[in-house]
Amino acid sequence: MRRLHFVLWPLVLTLSFCLFNPRLYSQEHKLLAMKPLGEEAFQVLREFFQYDKDMPLDARIIATDDTPDYIREKIVFNGAQDSRVPGYLALPKKDVPPYPCVLLLHGTVPAAKEVFWDQRLAYGDTLIRKSLLQAGFAVLTLDAQYLGERTMLTDYVNGSMMIFRRHWKYKGMDLLVQTAVDHRRALDYLATRSEIDTSRIGALGYSGGGMTAIYLTAVDRRVKVLIPCVTALNIYGSLVPEILALWHYVRAFGDRPVLFMMSRHDPFYSVEQTEQFFSLVKGSSKQLLFFDIDGHRLPPEHAPKAVEWFQKHLRK
């Protein structure tokens, strides 16, 4: 499978240049066209997110924290590129197992799995994690490729420097793709845990984590419910290859419930772009919520909205 990736990388980069050469289109045209690739080309893209399912997970619980409301385990397992992927799996003490589980995917500028656990960190936001656990959901958070405990893979250059200053486009692409694949491996791990109901898996991601959650949902049917939050729609070209444009992937959602939660005044997308993108989602259970807030963030009231969506669609 690793050999297949070596073949696909040049192919996809060539497709990206030929189909989306920035010299051929103005930025406005590219953003508003949002024309998905044909089915054959899309199937090539899907191969990017495949992995060797026979590769052992070698999963291990490193530490356990027992709190009044939940038990949190620090876990580690083998990712798709022979790297160890660290994460936290939290099991609520409310209700009885097996629990539905929500994957929380952090952003990239800068961030790590700890942002869901420590409010003191930059971009720290523990509210969504607390709300889900209180509602009886298990929660899984991983470090994305090159971020958190995995910055050793870029000689400890953080995501903000890597993407926005050094413009390491290849690593930006690898970050998104491999993080999605690592979450597929995480789903394999959850299937080994009797406390988790793997027929009730949801995903919620912020910013770059929202992008990754979209790719993950598109290529893995085990994700039943999706919530992308403040998900960047206009970074393709200079920062991320346009072959990863999200509108190529929404076709694979089928009828799975999708809730978009976006800021009305965000530099990474406009209301018009978001509405056009949302129109590409063909399922019957979809909703778009705008919060009247400035910047690349959401207000606290987004958390109960997310929990309500998961309760509605994962508690069946």
CATH code of the domain in which 223 resides: 3.40.50.1820
Q: Which residue has the tokens 């400890």?
A: 156
pLDDT in tens, 170-200: 677 888 999 999 999 999 999 999 999 999 9
Report yes or no on whether pTM surpasses 0.85.
yes
Question: Residue 159: which domain range?
Answer: 2-314
Question: Could you count the other beta carbons within 10 Å of the beta carbon of residue 26?
Answer: 9
pLDDT in tens, 75-103: 999 998 878 999 999 999 989 999 999 99
155's CB contacts (< 8 A; 6+ apart) are none
Q: What is the pLDDT along the chain (316 residues), one digit of tens a residue?
A: 443 443 343 333 333 333 333 333 334 434 446 788 888 999 999 999 999 999 999 999 999 999 999 999 999 999 988 789 999 999 999 899 999 999 999 998 768 999 999 987 766 689 999 999 999 999 999 999 888 888 766 666 765 666 655 556 667 788 899 999 999 999 999 999 999 999 999 999 999 999 999 999 999 999 999 999 999 887 776 667 778 899 999 999 999 999 999 999 999 899 999 999 999 999 999 999 999 999 999 999 999 999 999 999 997 6
Question: Could you count the other beta carbons within 10 Å of the beta carbon of residue 79?
Answer: 24
> How many domains are there within the chain?
1
Provide the 3-class DSSP secondary structure of residue 50.
coil
209's CB contacts (< 8 A; 6+ apart) are 104, 105, 106, 107, 108, 111, 144
